[in-house]
Amino acid sequence: MTALRRQLEAAEPDLRATLIDSLASNAQQGNDPATAEDLAWAILRFGLARPALRRYLIGDADIQAAEQATLVAVALRISSWRAEGSFAAWLQQVATNEARQLIRAESRHAQRRELLDTDGGLDTAPGEGFINRVSSMIANEQAVQAQLALLSDPLRHALVLREYQGLTYDEIATQLGLPLSTAKTHVRRARMALADALIASQLP
């Protein structure tokens, strides 16, 4: 362990914050790769990005993925940090952006799966669907239900049948008296609307 890392380990929180600001300022100049490595180490060692990530994400795997993405973003964007503000505050915004991007990527992934699910056979088991995945990432069941209630009736009914009751698209179409293509469209649009609403509800 380097002398700087030992110093950071031993420092009280206020002094550590000052030392990290200084470290970030040095990393910003880009003259010493070791400085950037020390900054990344400090972000991970002291969980500096995690308060922001935990505002949006719950699952450990999602938090770790967003934390790694935050490290990359810091390395790429450190020149945009204005040293008159604290590095920690800037880092929180970077981490927030990465968490939100992860959520949006998950939403897009669900939409792609929806388009590929032409026979209604994928993702039909209750408890393993999009709502539960999104709620585990950024909210809790109460928040999901609150946003779900705001969807229009056709979209909400289709999504509940798909995600909570585990019906196939054929079964949804039959139960709601819709063409199969319309049933799929309702579910897809409901997922998109719910994801967007949950993201918006978590914004400061």
Residue 140: the pLDDT is: 54
Q: pLDDT tens-digit profile of 56-70?
A: 887 788 888 889 889
Question: Cα torsion for 10, 12, 18, 24, to the nearest 10°?
Answer: 40
Q: How many residues does the chain have?
A: 204
How confident is the model over 145-162, as pLDDT tens digits?
788 888 899 998 998 888
Tokens 């505002």 map to which residue?
Answer: 55
Report helix angle 169-176 to 180-202, nearest 10.
100
Q: What is the mean pLDDT of the chain?
A: 80
Q: What is the pLDDT of residues 133-145, one digit of tens each?
A: 555 555 456 677 7
User: What's this model's pTM, rounded to 2 decimal places?
Assistant: 0.58
Q: Kindly report, residue by residue over 72-116, the tens digit of the pLDDT.
A: 889 888 888 887 789 999 999 999 988 888 877 766 555 555 554
